[in-house]
Amino acid sequence: MAMKWIEAVTGSLEQKKQYKQDKARIDGLPEPYGTAAKAMHRYLLNTSGIVDGDVIIRMLTDLADLWEAAAVDGTPVRGIVGDDPVDFAETFAKAYAAKEWQDKERARFTKAIEDAEKGAGS
């Protein structure tokens, strides 16, 4: 019972454990992969808008997998991200489409427009 209460307040302990494991994998990458992976990790957490913890964890696990494979294969960083790293990261995040914090505001805005439209017709 106490565990459920703690997780309700702090979030999933399993997700935190997985996040720390994935972050350690990224931190352990050789250069230049470590720098690139850390930058992409930071960018995704700050810009993806994903709020579902399970989705974030899955995305970050796949991110660690991607950069580990690139390091093992010796794939150049630009061979992964291409000419536009922002586009690559945003396309990567879209593959994990989930509920985003903006969804609530989009719905609120749409409803306000619909309500305004109904009010104008009265």
Residue 31 has pLDDT above 60, yes or no: yes
What is the reported pLDDT for 36? 98
Mean pLDDT of the chain: 88
What are the residue boundaries of the structural domains of the chain, listed by start? 2-121
Name the burial class of residue 88, with classes exposed (0-12), middle (13-18) and buried (19+) by CB atoms within 10 angstroms of its CB. middle
> Which is higher by pLDDT, 121 or 97?
97
Give residue 5's pLDDT band: very low, low, confident or very high (50, 70, 90).
low
Q: What is the pLDDT of residues 39-71, one digit of tens each?
A: 999 999 999 888 788 999 999 999 999 999 999
- C-alpha–C-alpha distance, residues 49 and 69, integer Å: 26
Name the burial class of residue 82, with classes exposed (0-12), middle (13-18) and buried (19+) by CB atoms within 10 angstroms of its CB. exposed
Superfamily for domain range 2-121: c-terminal domain of poly(a) binding protein (1.10.1900.10)
What spatial distance separates the first Cα and last Cα of the chain, rounded to whole Å? 53
